[in-house]
Chain A
Amino acid sequence: ETGVTQSPTHLIKTRGQQVTLRCSSQSGHNTVSWYQQALGQGPQFIFQYYREEENGRGNFPPRFSGLQFPNYSSELNVNALELDDSALYLCASSLRGLGSTEAFFGQGTRLTVV
């Protein structure tokens, strides 16, 4: 186990709804990255949060947003859900700076949009 926990593990939402996914980072890690993994594909980078600020963003629309809290946990919010948002959402925690590059992934949240 990596020490990175995500909740919920599974979620079903209706198109047009909003969803919030949560991630608790590994102890001592100050950075959280979020990824979307469609079935049969590799994870796609959504954005990263470092010290409560967005620090880099992938090719995702503004309806994907996030937060990082003082304890370094993080939320991913998706508004106006679309069917194509159905995917496994992964968060990864890491320690930014000091040359550290290893990231630890949570088990993911499986989101189904119907």
Chain B
Amino acid sequence: GESVGLHLPTLSVQEGDNSIINCAYSNSASDYFIWYKQESGKGPQFIIDIRSNMDKRQGQRVTVLLNKTVKHLSLQIAATQPGDSAVYFCAAPLGLKTSYDKVIFGPGTSLSVIP
């Protein structure tokens, strides 16, 4: 079946450094990917998404890279701040392009920022 997974369950970075969180997926037909951030006691929060016709997308302090050849994507956070400490999930929705009915989440990477 489809799976989305992350390479490292935990990541510690120094405040001000850049963070890179990796994710691999199994379904070659996946055409849309989302990164979520989940802080303690809260639900997942949308960070950034990318469609399969792109290999890079930038947001505010975040960049997502997609390598369809090796079915890998990454989330880069620039100048990591204490408020970035959270669990990060990559996710791949399934279903029709107009209605992603089922979202497969990876197991998550817990990012800790060292002041």
Could you tell me which A residues sit within 8 Å of B by CB distance?
Answer: 2, 4, 31, 33, 35, 40-45, 48, 50, 55-56, 58, 90, 92, 96-99, 101-108
Contacts and interface: CB of A to CB of B under 8 A. Distances in A.
B106 to A, nearest CB: 5
Interface of B: 4, 32, 34, 41-46, 49, 89, 91, 93, 95, 97-108
Contacts, number: 65
Nearest to A46: B102
B11 to A, nearest CB: 15
A106 B102 contact: no
27 contacts: A4-B43, A35-B105, A41-B108, A42-B91, A42-B106, A43-B44, A43-B103, A45-B102, A45-B104, A48-B102, A55-B101, A56-B95, A56-B101, A58-B102, A90-B44, A96-B99, A98-B98, A101-B32, A101-B49, A102-B46, A102-B49, A103-B46, A103-B103, A105-B43, A107-B42, A108-B42, A108-B43
Complex A-B, nearest 10 residue pairs according to Cβ-Cβ distance, in ascending order? A105-B43, A42-B105, A56-B101, A96-B99, A45-B102, A43-B105, A105-B44, A42-B107, A101-B100, A90-B43
Contacts of B42: 107-108
Contact of B105 (A4, A44, A97, A98): A44
Contacts of A48: 101-102
A90 to B, nearest CB: 5
Nearest to A4: B43
Nearest to A43: B105
A60 B10 CA distance: 28
B115 to A, nearest CB: 25
Given A42-B108, A56-B95, A2 B102 contact: no
